[in-house]
Amino acid sequence: MAKYHQLKLLAAMVTSASVVCATGIFIYSQYIQKAYVPESEIGKIAAQYLIKNPENLLKAGEALESQTENTKVDRLIPFAPALLDTSVTPNYGPDDADVAVIEFFDYLCHYCQQVAPVVDQAIREEKGVKYYFKEYPIFAGSKPVSGQSAATGLLIFDTYNGDAYLKYHNNLMA
């Protein structure tokens, strides 16, 4: 009888252990184990999420734009002294301006000519901005007048001042 009692106890323990193991496996497989999701499904899930929550897409875009802009500015900072050197760069506006606009241009560039009236209007309207004109005669190799115009502009700035240079610049761009 004692042997029967021991077998009964052993059977109860094995049954209990089996139930505990099975329950653990079930809980792990249903709630803990990370399910494999194919890449194509992840894309669908992400798209559905963004459709339901478009503000997150806008936030991500703004963060990327901010990061990109900061990176561009950070790369320019080491060159700021050369870009803002008023002794060799024609410029116009107050020396203590908080904002600087640097324009690279060629007098023969069609796009530069199109933007010139916009820059001239900004100069007339925004008195607290310093404008730097970087002569960049990219067409000088094929059209010598491009380089000659740039050299003349630099001479006018060096000989006279920013007012005379601005008049020369605007007349050539017109």
pLDDT at 111: 94
**90-120 per-position pLDDT tens digit:** 999 999 999 999 999 999 999 999 999 999 9
Contact assessment for residue 171 and residue 114, using Cβ atoms and an 8 Å cutoff: no
How many distinct helices (H) and strands (E) make up the chain? 7, 3
pLDDT at 13: 54
**18-53 per-position pLDDT tens digit:** 554 556 566 666 666 566 777 778 778 877 877 888
Which residue pairs from 6-9 have beta carbons closer than 8 angstroms and sit at least 24 positions apart in sequence? none
CB-count exposure of residue 97 (10 Å: 0-12, 13-18, 19+)? middle
**57-83 per-position pLDDT tens digit:** 778 778 777 776 666 667 777 877 877
Phi, psi of 103 (to 5 degrees): -115, 125
Residue 127 contacts by C-beta under 8 Å, 6 or more apart in sequence?
93, 94
Strand partners, 131: 92, 101
- Above 80 in pLDDT, residue 12? no
pLDDT at 158: 92
- Above 60 in pLDDT, residue 7? no
Spatial separation of the C-alpha atoms in residues 39 and 62, rounded to whole Å: 26
